[in-house]
Chain A
Amino acid sequence: MATLNDDYLKYPKRSYGMDHDRYKWTMLQNRKTIQWPEGNKIALWVNVGLQFFPLNQKGIPFKVPGGMTKPYPDLRHYSLRDYGNRVGLYRFLKAFDKYNITPTFAINTRLAERLPYVLGTIKERGDEIICHGYDMDKLHYGGQDIAKETDLVKRSVDGLRDLSGQAVTGWISPAKNESENTPDILAANGIQYFCDWVNDDMPYDFKTKNGNLTAMPLPTELDDYFIINNNLHSAQDWAEQVEDAFDFLVKESETMGGRILGLNIHPWVLGQPHRIQYLERVLERLGSQTEVWSTSGSAIAAAWKDQQ
């Protein structure tokens, strides 16, 4: 049996706080309470991922969750993802309008390039657009060449700004994966908030070489893809989990200040005919509550920042 070098029992970072210097160690319960506008308890952030999964996926350094899994050409996965942008999206939009929900759209820049109709529809609605990377196969990852990653971020962010006419200040990496440099590069390119670190239920200051980013809580654990395709739960189970989360957060907000319910959803998952009713059920319930502030990612980030 191979043995380990004695360095394996050395712990150079074993001291107060985190084992890196990106943010301060604090417990949520010890922080200043946040008040949302008009006394709302819950800021509801419905974040819709509009994604392009290329058929010729490279999978560097890993296959993106939700991507192609079969030998080329994996038509079943390619076309089922595309279903979301052709069909599911329009079911989503109807539901948002019916239940007075303000969505935010996280868009792969390649998708915006390929589908002007989709981008035009979102632009016309005036919903916030944030950048979800270039496409689902252009991962950001540890060890990535910094010059190449910088180009990738620029191409993604600048491209989406040009096409959308919006400032595009928010970011989600494909697979919420990053390199050691990603936050520094994002901050240098005008990104103000990002959603890759799922380590909190409220925003916090994230240090970069180019000023702070706001880390925003968008839990993977409530993501429709994670619950339905990874955990293999039903859409009804997804709805129940969201409702249980909402009830708990409302209760917690009574003593601890405003809370955020972040729902990351995808039209190719919840936009299916047999699932859409469960999204509608959730939106109906949340949209009818008096203590819910349905708003965009940047509005939540700004309200938090104003109170720091």
Chain B
Amino acid sequence: MKEDPGYYDYWPYENRPKIEWPNGAKVAFWVAPNIEFYELNPPDNPFRKPWPQPTPALPGYTSRDWGNRVGHVRQMELLDKYSIRGSISLSTALCDHHPEIIELCKERNWEFFSHGIYNTRYTYGMTEGQEREMIKDSIETIYKHTGQKCAGYLAPALSHSENTLDLFAEVGTELFGDEAGFYSCDLFHDDQPTPIHLKSGKRFVSIPYSLEMNDTIAYLVQKITPRRYGKELMDNFDRLYAEGDESGTIMCIPTHNYQVTNAHRIKAYEEALEYITGHSDVWVTTGKEIAQYFLDNHYDVALADIELKKQKYGNA
């Protein structure tokens, strides 16, 4: 085990080279609905228990199922209304279980990125070979069902190994060259993209996905009220929009259909979406488009600046 994952260098949030988003936007804004499948009777994992109760663990299983049966279309209609294309964090087995949902997202040209096979199969305890096979299965499944070459990764249930980012990038290259496997949502250290060190040296970035704005963290961990959540989304946006004058920032709202689209919560979410998209200098986009734009326009400059500061100050 390591003291530091070693993916990135210290890079202070001041005096960075300016990020300029398309059309002078201050904030790149993206919404990442997690579309997940949780199993009723998943296999045991020695490191994490999928459910607190013995099978069938109805409270958790049934509320997730609600997200697919009821919540998905509600959120999709809302994103349509504000011209937002979702970036789907996908339990890829859902392509087999619920292809109707995949079709609806495809029709809208939403992005699909990998969130593993099931959200009840954890990376903990996998050998490198097993994790590679799981990731490959997920990327191939997305391609088979959607024709998309998977660019991004969020590990299933945020369960990682020391190899996760390397394996995702390598499998992406093996299947589709530089067109796949070039960004990660697994790191929460910044409000701007970060070049990531990989064993292969592949050009790869971390894109801010935000644990703090994640509806499940807000509602299940922080247990805040819906109106408070809506306010926090707007506060988060206001600050990033103001700072985006100096250098482009990113705001992400990661959502879960079983949380944010509940009848008592959707109004607060809609108010925030209306507020954010009502600003003129917002680039409403997807995770992949942000990552690609950064790689094409800012990655090399960022890398040089990071190296320069590393030499100058000697930070880890």
Cβ of A27 under 8 Å from chain B: yes
Q: Which of A7-58 contact B (CB under 8 A)?
A: 7-9, 11, 13-20, 25-30
State the CA gap A219–B59 with chains docked (Å).
Answer: 10
A176 contacts B268, CB within 8 Å? no
List residues of chain A with CB within 8 A of the CB of B68. Answer: 27
B264 contacts A241, CB within 8 Å? yes
Q: Which of B88-144 contact A (CB under 8 A)?
A: 93, 96-101, 117-118, 121, 125-127, 130, 133-134, 137
State the CA gap A200–B127 with chains docked (Å).
Answer: 38
How many positions in chain A have a CB within 8 Å of any CB in the partner chain?
60
Cβ of B148 under 8 Å from chain A: no
How many positions in chain B have a CB within 8 Å of any CB in the partner chain?
56
A17 contacts B263, CB within 8 Å? no
Min CB distance A198 to B, Å, is 5
List residues of chain B with CB within 8 A of the CB of A14. Answer: 93, 96-97, 117
Min CB distance B128 to A, Å, is 10
Min CB distance B156 to A, Å, is 12
State the CA gap A188–B127 with chains docked (Å).
Answer: 47
Residue of A nearest to B222 (CB): A231
State the CA gap A219–B63 with chains docked (Å).
Answer: 9
Cβ of A178 under 8 Å from chain B: yes
Min CB distance B123 to A, Å, is 10
Stretch of B46-54, B166-174, B176-184, B289-297 at the chain-chain interface: B46-54
State the CA gap A225–B45 with chains docked (Å).
Answer: 32
List residues of chain B with CB within 8 A of the CB of A20. Answer: 40-41
List residues of chain B with CB within 8 A of the CB of A61. Answer: 53-54
State the CA gap A179–B45 with chains docked (Å).
Answer: 22
Query: Interface of B with A (CB < 8 Å)?
Result: 37, 39-41, 43, 45-47, 52-59, 61-63, 65-66, 68-70, 72-74, 93, 96-101, 117-118, 121, 125-127, 130, 133-134, 137, 219, 223, 225-227, 262-268
Query: Interface of A with B (CB < 8 Å)?
Result: 1-4, 6-9, 11, 13-20, 25-30, 61-62, 141-143, 175-180, 196-201, 219-222, 230-233, 237, 240-242, 244-249, 252, 261
